[in-house]
Amino acid sequence: MSWKKVVTAFKGLVAETGENIADNQSIRIMDQELREASDDINTAKTELTKIMAKRAAVSRKVGDLQKKMTEHEAMASQALDKGEEQLAVDICERIASFEEELATENSMLLSFSNSENSLKTNLKKADARLKSLKQQQDVLKATEAVQNAQGVVANRFSGSSSKMTNAMSSLERIKERQQERQDRFVAADELANAENGDDLDRRMKEAGIGDQASKKNDILARIKANKK
């Protein structure tokens, strides 16, 4: 491998490592952002409970004022029935005070109710959005883990393939060397047989010369001829 290819491979490794670090950092940043968002939602829920408590208190006060107004109107009517008109006027003055206070409390009740409804709606949306983001984050983490595992397997397989290729090459070289040695052994045997005359006998036998079966037939024919 040339030095240029080594440098290129090193640059690719550095870039890939940088990307992995950036991805891991992004996941950690996302974790922190989601934790902060969850904390903000919990804080908003706490504030919502405070508003709901205040709205409930104002609602009770509105109820009490309405009850007092009803009771005082009945008392003013009783005073008139008894001819106590001044008393009835005084009672009506108190009722007027109740009405002013009731108007103020109703205004506060409306404000708290609107804030409560608005916060509930927004919190519902925020909860749904946070849940969706957490689900997507889980998918991202799972995908990242799977891809990392695939990368490890791919790298190991790539290394194994390279090793297996080298092993196959070595095996073929050994086979070729052994075959070459075997060929030399055969050639040496042929040369030794030729020097000992074995090769001539073999060639004669293959040509049918000096065959034992032919000699037997010749001897038998000679014996038969002598008996005549």
Q: What is the CATH number of the domain that holds 94?
A: 1.10.287
Helix residue ranges, H only, the chain = 3-81, 85-196, 198-207, 212-227
| Residue 188 falls inside a structural domain | no
Residue 177 belongs to some domain of the structure:
no
Q: Other C-beta atoms within 10 Å of 55: how many? A: 20
Give the Cα separation of 54 and 42 in Å (integer). 19
If one counts the domains in the chain, the total is 1
- Would 199 be classed as within a structural domain? no
> Rounded distance, CA 122 to CA 43, Å?
13
Residue 186 covered by a domain: no
Q: Report d(CA 106, CA 58) in Å as an integer.
A: 8
Torsion sign across C-alpha atoms 219, 220, 223, 225: negative
Q: Is residue 203 part of a domain?
A: no
pLDDT in tens, the chain (228 residues): 455 544 454 445 444 455 555 566 887 888 888 899 899 999 999 999 999 999 999 999 999 999 999 999 999 999 999 999 999 999 999 999 999 999 999 999 999 999 999 999 999 999 999 998 888 888 888 888 888 788 776 666 555 556 666 777 777 888 888 888 888 877 777 776 666 556 666 666 666 665 555 566 666 677 767 766
